[in-house]
Amino acid sequence: MKSPILKEALFTILKSEQEIAAKLQEITALLAASIPYYDWVGFYFKNGDKEELKLAQYTGEETEHTLIPFGKGICGQVALSNKNFIVQDVSEQENYISCGWKVKSEIVIPIFVNGENIGQIDIDSHTVHPFTKDDEVLLEFVCHEVAKLF
C-alpha cells in the first residue's frame, strides 16, 4: 500500500468518533495489514509514574512483555534515549528482549506530547533487514498524529 493511501486511511481512523484505545487498535491493524513485513505492531506507553512501559493496543501474536522496564530491550532503551531505534538483525543486539523466535528485526519510534516521551510504536518483523528510511518517516508521521490524541 502506498503511503498517501495509508495516510488517508490513518486520518480516517484518527478523525473517527471512537475512543482513543479503539483508534490505536485500528492503527495497529491497518499498519500490519498494509505492510507485509510488519508482523507485530503495538503501542507501549509510560506506566504512570513508574520507570516502565505498559503494553497498550497491538496486532500480532500475544507477548508476555506487557511491562518493560526503562533501559531493557529496544523499547526500554527508546524510553530513555528519546530517539528512534532500528535493529535490522536482532541477533546482533545485546540488549534485546525476545518476543518470539520468529522476530528477526525491530523498529521503535517514540511518541512525544509537549516534548515528553509518553510512549512509542513498536514494530517486529520476521524478516532480517526489512526497514528503510521510508518506514522511519511513515512511523514518525504516525507517532506525530497519534500524539494529537493526548
pLDDT in tens, 68-92: 999 999 999 999 999 999 999 988 8
Q: Which CATH superfamily is domain 3-147 in?
A: GAF domain (3.30.450.40)
11/89 Cα distance (integer angstroms): 32
Torsion of CA 135, 112, 17, 54, to 10 degrees: 90
pLDDT band at 26 (very low <50, low <70, confident <90, very high): very high
Closest C-alpha to 35, from 145, 110, 103, 127: 127
Mean confidence (pLDDT) of the chain? 94
Closest C-alpha to 137, from 107, 96, 104: 107
Domain ranges of the chain: 3-147
